[in-house]
Amino acid sequence: MSDLIVVLPLVPALTAAVIATGGWRKATMWLPTVSCLTVGGIGITLAVRVLQSGPITAFSGQFRVDALGALMIILIGAVGTIANTYSVAYLRTELATAATTPHRARLFGVLMQLTIAAMCVVVTADNLGVLWVAIETTTIATVLLVGHRRDRASVEASWKYLVLGSVGVATALMGTVLVYFVSRQSGGDPSTALNWSSLVERAPHLDPGALRVAMGFVIVGYGTKAGLAPLHSWLPDAYSQAPAPAAALMAGALSTMSMYALLRFKVIADIALGASYVRTLLLAAALLSLVTAASLMVTQRDYKRLLAYSSVEHMGLIALAAAIGSPLAMTAALLHMIGNGLAKSVAFSATGEMLFATGTTRIDGVRGLLHQRPFIATTLGLSLLALLGLPPFSILASELAIVRAGIADGLAWAIAIALVVMLAIFTAVLVHALNMLAGSPGGATVPSESTAHVTSLTVRVTLVSGLLVAAAIGITIWPISQLLHTAAEVLAR
Amino acid sequence: MNDTAFVQLLDIAAGLVLVTSFAALWLRRLVAVARVIAVQGVALAAVAFVIGLYEHENELVAVSLMVGALRGVVLPGLILRAVRAGDERREVESLINVPAALLAASGLTLIAYAATRDVVALSSTPQVRALPLGVAVMLIGMLLIVTRRKAVLQIMGVLMLDNGIALVMFLGTSGVPLAVELGIASDVLLAMFILQVLTSRIRNKFGGTDLDQLRELRD
């Protein structure tokens, strides 16, 4: 079984190598989708095994998959499948309109797979140093994805993303190094002193004063990379300039990876320092993220930035659930990661088609989309409803659970703030969506050559499947309930 | 190496890492700043080298040579190339003037010492006593990134920040396990390389690397 942990990152890594040598052509363009489906399949296999017989380790304990890791692998597989299937159609259109070159299309395919390979390492590494290296690798790969179009705006976005991302991730490294120092000082063996499972075991013996400093760095660092306010300013630029499939992957899975890292460290901190330290930090970041997201979504004029701020909102909600920290809250946080991952990757894919159809990312440049592009309009509308937490989608379930857990835990005031803010976001998104979807095309004229653009059947099937899965989990949580609860037990206090 | 010599060499090398970060704030010519960052990389390698010799850890001595080559030669070399390619060697206003920057850096050094009091208290070795210097260098690197508006200077800030972390790594734990160390080194190298690629793209698109021109994206 431990072989699967080794194979897991090799699947996307080899796919990247094949595309790098073979180029982006008919024979290779579907390999990324196959690779992501394989990753998802391995995730399900590992999940079944973990639920039967406990965590699996590899490489003398440096890698380890527990229920949480398996759940994350499945999420990477699902979001990766949506994003990579859409890349095929996206790059085909870009190549047909000479918006990109075969060389850049190849680079795009390679980088998407490298990002997925690095994410697979993130969620299987027990060694927190290896986890950091993998997260930094995703940053480097996605910077080039953000810069794919090479125009002024995307160069600006990738610069800001790499500089602020580097500062954030470096801060997390400083925290990781200090955790290693504290662990060694309490008698940890050099080969396991940075391993998560060993740190959890020895957490009661770690020096609280020094660990507090270390955890401060870790939370600020990974919080920046996850897109939590106040250090979120790179995010709207990066997500809005990234090509739609890359934005789908980043918003759906990558930001969740940093949140995952943060939650792993939180387990150690909660045992060693008591709950209140991390809770205070996360609560502040969560509420600030929600308020920031709401205020910028109300006045937003760009639909990709609107979705980007929706990511800040949902990362804030996950941080809020993590701050509560009870088993119910952690289950809700994980369910929220899945719901956000599916809905956000579908929504960003839809914006790619919208951009091709209308030639603009401005909200007021899109009118009567429902009339002109019924499929894309419906997909975008449904994914927005999912993100707003309407039934039957799973975000409703996770949001209700966060509310219940928060009230039960004496954080009713924070929940009240969150609900007011979410009401504002609800109204804002609804108004923006109605403006884009309803009405007649009227003043906004569609460029005639792009009206020929049709969304391919594969893309339609993939996007609909993504929404169907999100709805199915919302209606009955049964297929993943055992995995979800076991994974939440790993994280809950 | 006897104890006194070790402590003295260690303090000189670690102190030099901090002094060079102040010098980077003070100097005005881009080429000079890049050279100072190179000296910082060498000083950092010297810290690892001295600790490696004193503790008879051959692995750390080997790592120190690698660090010296990477942070003392290769990365500053990449940056110097970017500076020369841009033909804009003369600096550059900063958001704050030199005395204010140096004052802020002194403040950050004090903050670094105050914040790591509990960490330093864990051990009484001369290495750990010098550990706050690494945190200070990291914070000064951030100051450089925030206050300077030239792309190359932000790259140097990122490198300085990483140097600070590496200093903490060597002083605190004689380095992290080798596999992780190699991963970190290759990531830093890649990030620097890509920053340089982006710098040339900025130059192509905006005609210079003045970051104040990057203002297309906002809400």
Q: What pLDDT sits at residue B128?
A: 93
pLDDT band of residue A189 (cuts 50, 70, 90) is: confident
Q: What is the pLDDT of residues B171-190, one digit of tens each?
A: 988 777 777 787 888 888 88
Is the pLDDT assigned to residue B111 strictly greater than 90? yes
Which candidate in B128, B146, B216, B218 is best for mutational testing of the A interface (most A CBs within 10 A)?
B216
Distance CA A271, CA A266 (A): 9
Residue A35 pLDDT level (bands cut at 50, 70, 90): very high
- Whole-angstrom distance, CA of residue A254 vs CA of residue B189: 22
Preferred mutation among B63, B176, B189 to probe A, highest tally of A CBs within 10 A: B176
Q: Which residues of B touch A194 (CB under 8 A)?
A: 176-177, 180
Asked whether the beta carbons of residue B219 and residue A300 sit closer than 8 angstroms, the reply is: yes
Whether A162 sits inside 8 A of B191 (CB atoms) is yes
Flag if B179 and A130 touch (Cβ within 8 Å).
yes
pLDDT category, A452, cuts 50, 70, 90? low
Of B145, B172, B215, the CB nearest to A177: B172
The predicted pLDDT at position B204 comes to 84
Domain that includes residue A198, residue range: 2-491
Of the ranges A310-314, B42-46, B155-159, which one carries the lowest mean pLDDT score?
Answer: B155-159
Complex confidence, ipTM? 0.94
Whether the predicted pLDDT of A453 surpasses 80: no
- For residue A449, pLDDT over 50 is answered with no
The pLDDT-based confidence of A448 (bands split at 50, 70, 90) is very low
| Tokens found for residue B42 | 């060498």
The mean pLDDT of chain B is 89
Between CA A235 and CA A164 the distance in angstroms is 10
Percent of chain B's residues with pLDDT above 70? 97
Candidates A128, A166, A185, A237, partner chain B, best to mutate (most B CBs within 10 A): A166
Q: What is the torsional sign of CA B155, B159, B160, B164?
A: positive
Closest by Cα among B149, B153, B218, B162 to B190: B162
Is residue A378 pLDDT above 60, yes or no?
yes
Locate the chain B residue with the closest alpha carbon to A299: B219
Contact B177 A237 (CB under 8 A): no
For A341-353, how does the pLDDT look when each residue is reduced to its tens digit (9 = 90+)? 999 999 999 999 9
Average pLDDT, integer, range B118-139 = 93
**Measured between alpha carbons, how far is A360 from B126 in angstroms, rounded to an integer?**
61
Task: Give me the residue spans of the domains in chain B.
Answer: 3-213
A445 phi and psi angles, rounded to 5 deg:
-90, 140
Tens digit of each residue's pLDDT (9 = 90 or more) over A226-267: 999 899 999 999 999 999 999 999 999 999 999 999 999 999
Chain B residue numbers with beta carbons less than 8 Å from the beta carbon of A310 are: none
0.90 exceeded by the pTM?
yes
Whether residue B93 has pLDDT greater than 70: no
Q: What is the pLDDT of residue A178?
A: 94
Report whether pLDDT(B143) > 90. yes
For residue A398, the one-letter residue type is S
Instruction: Output the pLDDT for position A323.
Output: 96
The pLDDT value recorded for residue A112 is 97
Name the interface residues of B facing A (CB cutoff 8 Å). 115-119, 121-123, 135, 138, 142, 145, 151, 154, 158, 161-162, 164-165, 168-169, 172-173, 176-177, 179-180, 183-184, 187, 190-191, 194-195, 198, 201-202, 205-206, 211, 214-217, 219
Q: How far is A351 from chain B (nearest CA, A)?
A: 18
Contact A213 B115 (CB under 8 A): yes
Nearest CA in chain A to B151: A159
Please indicate whether, in this complex, the C-beta atoms of B118 and A209 are within 8 angstroms of each other: yes
Q: Per residue in A459-493, pLDDT tens?
A: 999 999 999 999 999 888 878 899 999 999 999 87
Residue A64, strand partner residues: A57
Indicate the average pLDDT of chain A.
Answer: 93
- Reported as a single tens digit per residue, the pLDDT across A118-134 is 999 999 999 999 999 99
- Number of domains within chain A: 1
Cβ-based contacts of A294 with chain B (< 8 Å): none
- Region B139-151: mean pLDDT is 90
- Convert the pLDDT of each residue in A78-121 to its tens digit: 999 999 999 999 999 999 998 999 999 999 999 999 999 999 99
Beta carbons of B205 and A151 less than 8 Å apart: yes
| Length of chain B as a residue count | 219
pLDDT at B88: 64
The mean pLDDT value for A164-191 works out to 92
What is residue A441's predicted lDDT score, i.e. its pLDDT? Answer: 66
The radius of gyration of chain B from alpha carbons, rounded to an integer in Å, stands at 18
A409-to-A267, A322, A400, A416, A422 alpha-carbon distances in Å: 18, 12, 14, 13, 20
Percent of chain A clearing pLDDT 90 (strictly above): 85
Residue A70 has pLDDT above 70, yes or no: yes
Question: What per-residue confidence (pLDDT) applies to A347?
Answer: 97
How many interchain CB pairs under 8 A, A with B? Answer: 139
If you measure CA to CA, which chain A residue comes closest to B202? A155
Angle between helices A303-324 and A276-298 (to 10 degrees): 160
Query: Among residues A400, A351, A103, A359, which one has the least CA distance to residue A240?
Result: A351
B-chain CB neighbours of A152 within 8 Å are 205-206, 216
* Cα–Cα distance measured from residue A345 to residue B197, given in angstroms and rounded to the nearest whole number: 29
